[in-house]
Amino acid sequence: MPDVKPDPHVQPLKFLPILYVLFTVLGMWAIYMLCHCLPRIQLGVPEHAVDFAVRKHAYIECASFNVVTVLLLASYVMCILTHPGEIPLNDPNWEYSATPDPGQNIVKEKKKSGDRRHCKWCGKYKPDRCHHCRTCRICILKMDHHCPWIYNCVGFHNYKYFFLVTMYAAIACQIISITMWDSVYKSVDNRSPFFPMFCLVF
């Protein structure tokens, strides 16, 4: 008996990891922009007192970080909204039969007995690298894993976006760790107000 995919809107608690990720990304963006970039841009400082070398670097850092953050969020949204792919519906090549056609050879992965792999929950033959997800309750094409942070499986159609999310997140973290040393040092050395110091250090 095939499983019926549950309506995700009836499981609101499973959206909490997504909200946590978005809150973390936006929080890091706010700290970087408000506690690092804007002070270095020196808004409101008289023109004769501006350190133009620092301001130039701040513009470059601000632009780079914002571009990476936008790409990160776009990839994350696409990763969530893109269906990973499932076994084609109403296709006789994948409908399970107790007496399969022995001449049909469209997959490489087979059981030890030589029979085609099939899903007992979906009632269909499985393409290569296809696995049943018990959370999504369907067979996912080229399934990698079910990720609670995107409330979706990572599979054939959204694997690219998942890879881009991890890549842009790594780049954003590198930008933060490399460029913020000066701001972190000054926040401690100059006895800045507690909240900016807390955000920069911790």
Q: What angle do CA 89, 140, 159 make, to 5 degrees?
A: 125
Phi/psi-derived region of residue 148, left when phi > 0, alpha when psi is between -120 and 50, beta in every other case: alpha
Q: Mind telling me the catalytic residues?
A: 147
Gap between the Cα atoms of 201 and 196, Å rounded = 9
**Residue 154 burial class via C-beta count within 10 angstroms: exposed 0-12, middle 13-18, buried 19 and up:** buried
